[in-house]
Amino acid sequence: MKSCVLMAHVPDTASVIKVSGAGDRIDEADIKWIVSPYDEYALEEAIRLKEARGGAVTVLTYGPERAQQGLRECLARGADAAVHVKGVERTFADALAIARVLAAAIRKVGPFDIFFAGIKGVGSDNSLVAAMVAEFLDIPHVAGVVKLEIGDGKVTAHREIEGGTEVVEAPVPCVVTAHKGLNEPRYPSLKGIMASKKVAIQALSVADLGLDEAALAGAEAGCRWKALALPPAKSGGTILKGEEDPAAAARELARLLREQAKAI
Amino acid sequence: MAGILVFIEQRNGSVRKASLEALSEARRLAAGPGLPVSAVLVGHGIGAKAAELGSYGAGKVFLADEERLGRYSAEGYTAAVRAAVEKCGPVAVFMAATALGRDLSGRVAARLGWGCLADVVGVQIEGGAVVATRPVYSGKALAAADGAGKPVVVTLRPNVFPAEAGEGKAEVEALPQVGGDIRAVVKEILAKEGAELDVAEADVIVSGGRGIKGPENFALIRELAKLLGAAVGASRAVVDAGWIDHAHQVGQTGKVVSPSLYIACGISGAIQHLAGMSSSKLIVAINKDPEAPIFKVADYGIVGDLFQVVPAFVDEVRKLKAEA
């Protein structure tokens, strides 16, 4: 089966986030960029599918120059091909624009039998792009999958919901988004890293897809960030010493929560 | 006049609390500029619930009651929501940011050609358009975002906006039968054993981290959680160690939560964990390391051995509950 993995290149989850001078996005100065952790599960599932059934894995991303590093990493882990739609990021954080670009890229470089993505990119945290791509391609999607079986022309997916699991059946092609628990992603091997360097990444511009990036970020935009701020810093918590008399500290904490905070 | 349409989620015929929160917030927002608030209820055999939504602020309820909508499907529900949008032409569609709402919202927004403001914790109307505050980078920053001059889908984080019942009965209008394919079909719903409260929906969360030393000691966390009617949360370290299921994980690669009370036991407070819980209204930390980062975000805390402090705290809470 030919599979396509949608990859988001995001700040490392250990990054400290600062606001840029313009006040509407992050300061990228000290940011290390990574393949979004949930996309690792998506890629792993696609590679396992290839190992079991044959076929090939293509990784697709839309982003600035630096997103190439993420594609290289996916190749090193076992993807066969990579497609980079280069953008100037005026559509930054707008899931609708990103999905329009990815759907157009898929129409150009596809067809594929199945699509994988992480349940969310750990960045603008929209958790929307995969379902939007499915809608634009007019195919079904299943989100938040923790177990996947691929049968003849269909998938059976277990998807996490509050307090349980939904078992969903969908025909292929479809979009599956991966949740933690789906698999254990492998690390890139040395052989994989060497081999990945020989793969040419297919570079496309938004204009190559017949789209106008300025319009995507303007009249056709789905959302825009007006301002970005850090959450108010907390200070002055009441921290009790409980090393010597834990019972007394516990009693005082219970009293404070009841009388002062009115929380219990 | 263009108002707000609220998608109402039900499971087995019960309307979800998070949907009533979204509806209540829509009513509060609409009251100022005098906008109409409508709701759309989708499912099978749920008609009796429709008129009751009036007490939470819906003037009109669009009802899609069909056998094939009995179980959730993104495709079927998207068609129903679009039918309601075509009837009332809203400036915004609100949904609860539950597993279902977050799944449905992308599909609905793309079908309408709108954007979506996901998992918002604050929402306002400015100049006739919705402006929302949403945590990004898992809560390390807050973005003020809008629909870029168009109507927009908004998903509201559960437990952030109060649900307020009042007076009123809604006018119910049945939607014509929803067309289109439903290709992804729910075959079965497997309930988790013990049907534990989910951290994403809980008003109180008691979490355990590496400091609890072993999976068997989650019993201590569960005891306190049960006493407080709380959900059990966990740090990534203990989920990765296999001590508890991932559904309990709070943090950047788990769930991002905003309960009224969050009690962290034996959690040092890695940046990814803090990102997932620091918007909680009240944070309590119990940890033996006075330098643990969790104390920097805590409103109250105890530096001490959780194996002594937590049982003593359980006793104290039990006493307070007995007095009350």
**Residue B178: pLDDT over 70:** yes
**Please, are residues B46 and B65 in contact by the beta-carbon 8 Å criterion?**
yes
Nearest by Cα to B22 from B118, B137, B159:
B159
- What does pTM read for this prediction? 0.92
Angle between helices B99-112 and A95-109 (to 10 degrees): 70
Contact A142, A159 (CB under 8 A): yes
Residue with tokens 């990534």: B236
List the domain boundaries for chain B.
4-174, 193-323
Q: Is the pLDDT of residue A8 over 70?
A: yes
Asked if the C-beta of A222 comes within 8 angstroms of chain B's C-beta atoms, the answer is: yes
Tell me if A117 sits within 8 A of A42, measured CB to CB: yes
Domain B4-174, what fold?
Rossmann fold (3.40.50)
- Taking the CA of residue B278 and the nearest CA in chain A, the distance in Å comes to 9
The verdict on A158 touching B (C-beta cutoff 8 Å) is yes
Q: Do B253 and A181 touch (CB under 8 A)?
A: no
The strand order across the sheet containing B129-136 reads A224-229, B141-146, B129-136, B122-126
pLDDT above 80: residue B230: yes
The topology (CATH level 3) of B193-323 is: Rossmann fold (3.40.50)
Buried b (16+ CB within 10 A) or exposed e, B211-246: bbeeeebbebbbebbebbebbbbbbbbbbeeebbeb
Per-residue pLDDT of B68-106, as tens digits, reads 999 999 999 999 999 999 999 999 999 999 999 999 999
Closest Cβ opposite residue A257 in set B106, B197, B300: B300
Tokens of B227: 């006493």
Share of chain A above pLDDT 70, in %: 99
| Mean pLDDT, residues B151-171 taken together | 93
A125 touches chain B (CB under 8 A): yes
**Cα A220 from Cα B145, distance rounded (Å):** 16
Q: How confident is the model at residue A88 (pLDDT cuts 50, 70, 90)?
A: confident
Query: 3-class SS at A214?
Result: helix
| Interface predicted TM-score (ipTM) of this complex, two decimals | 0.93
B154 vs A209: CA distance, rounded Å = 29
Task: Give residue for tokens 């056709």.
Answer: A220
Q: What is the pLDDT of residues B295-318, one digit of tens each?
A: 999 999 999 999 999 999 999 999
Mean pLDDT throughout A107-131? 94
Q: What does the alpha-carbon distance between residue A200 and residue A205 come to, in Å, rounded to a whole number?
A: 16
Phi-psi region of A188 (alpha: psi -120 to 50; beta: other; left: phi over 0): beta
Closest to B279 measured CA to CA, from B248, B252, B256, B302: B256
Q: Quickly state the pLDDT bin for B193 (edges 50, 70, 90).
A: low
For A263, the closest of B261, B278, B304 (CB atoms) is B261
Contact: B144, A228; criterion CB under 8 Å: yes
Q: Shortest CA distance to B283 belongs to which of A73, A27, B273?
A: B273
- What are B94's strand-pairing partners? B6, B154
Cα B42 from Cα B6, distance rounded (Å):
11
Q: Do A162 and B200 touch (CB under 8 A)?
A: yes
Give A247: exposed, middle or buried? Use CB within 10 Å, 0-12, 13-18, 19+.
Answer: middle
Percent of chain A past pLDDT 90, that is, above it, reads 82
| pLDDT tens digits along A165-194 | 999 999 999 999 999 999 999 999 999 999
Domains of chain A: 2-217 (3.40.50.620), 236-264 (no CATH)
Domains B4-174 and B193-323 share a fold: yes
Q: Name the amino acid, one letter, at A146.
A: V
Residue A158: helix, strand or coil by DSSP?
A: strand
* Residue B5: strand pairing partners: B38, B93
Contact across the interface for B260 and A164, Cβ inside 8 Å: no
How many CB atoms within 10 Å of residue B152? Answer: 27
Q: In three state form, how does the secondary structure of chain B look?
A: CCCEEEEECEECCEECHHHHHHHHHHHHHHHCCCCCEEEEEEECCCHHHHHHHHHHCCCEEEEEECHHHCCCCHHHHHHHHHHHHHHHCCCEEEEECCHHHHHHHHHHHHHHCCEEEEEECEEEEECCEEEEEEEEHHHCEEEEEECCCCCEEEEECCCCCCCCCCCCCCEEEECCCCCCCCCCEEEEEEECHHHCCCCCCCCEEEEECHHHCCHHHHHHHHHHHHHHCCEEEECHHHHHCCCCCHHHEECCCCECCCCCEEEEECCCCCHHHHHHHCCCCEEEEEECCCCCCHHHHCCEEEECCHHHHHHHHHHHHHHHHHHC
Any chain B CB within 8 A of the CB of A185?
no
